[in-house]
Amino acid sequence: MSLRPTVDFLLHDWLKVESLQSRERFADHSRETFDAVLDTCERIAREKYAPFNRLVDTQEPHFDGEKVTLPQATHEAYKAYAESGMLSAAQDYEIGGMQLPYTVEAAANAFFAMASVSIGSGMLTSGNANLLMVHGTELQKKVFALNEFSGRFSGTMCLSEPQAGSSLSDVMTRATPDGADFEADPLGARYRLKGNKMWISSGEHELSENIIHLVLAKIPDANGQLVPGVKGISLFIVPKKLVGTDGQLTGERNDVALAGLNHKCGWRGTTNTLLNFGEGKYPVRGEAGGGLDGAGSGAVGYLVGQPGEGLKCMFHMMNEARIGVGMAATMLGMAGYYASLDYAKNRPQGRPSGAGGKDASRPQVRIIEHADIKRMLLAQKAYSEGALALALYCARLVDEQHTGTAQDADVARLLLEVLTPIVKSFPSEWCLEANSLAIQIHGGYGYTRDFPVEQYWRDNRLNMIHEGTHGIQAMDLLGRKVLMENGRGLQLLAERMLATAAKAESAWAPEAAALRDALKQIGQATQQAWAGAEPAQALANAVPYLQAFGHTVIAWIWLDVAASLGQDDTPAAQGRRAACRYFYRYELPKIGAWLNVVKSRDPTCADLPEDAF
Catalytic residue set? 467
Give residue 413's identity as a one-letter amino acid code: R
Distance of CA 406 to the CA centre of its chain: 27
Q: Residues near 58 by Cβ (< 8 Å), separated by ≥ 6?
A: 268
The whole-angstrom separation of Cα 275 and Cα 258 is 5
Burial level of 32, CB count in 10 A (0-12/13-18/19+)?
exposed
The whole-angstrom separation of Cα 191 and Cα 39 is 45
DSSP output for 414-431: HHHHHHHHHHHHHIIIII
Question: What are the distances in angstroms from CA 379 to CA 64, 470, 579, 598?
Answer: 45, 21, 7, 26
- Rounded to 5 degrees, φ, ψ at 286 are -60, -20
Question: What are the distances in angstroms from CA 403 to CA 2, 47, 49, 166, 528?
Answer: 32, 34, 33, 34, 38
The whole-angstrom separation of Cα 324 and Cα 60 is 23
Burial level of 520, CB count in 10 A (0-12/13-18/19+)?
exposed
Say if CB 23 and CB 85 are below 8 A apart: no
- Rounded to 5 degrees, φ, ψ at 311 are -70, -35
The whole-angstrom separation of Cα 187 and Cα 291 is 17
Beta bridge partners of residue 301, listed in sequence order: 191
The whole-angstrom separation of Cα 442 and Cα 219 is 54
Say if CB 262 and CB 270 are below 8 A apart: no
- Among candidates 472, 496, 518, 500, which has minimal Cα distance to 400? 496
Say if CB 175 and CB 234 are below 8 A apart: yes
How many C-beta atoms surround the C-beta of residue 592 within 10 A?
Answer: 12
Rg (C-alpha) for the chain, rounded Å, is: 25
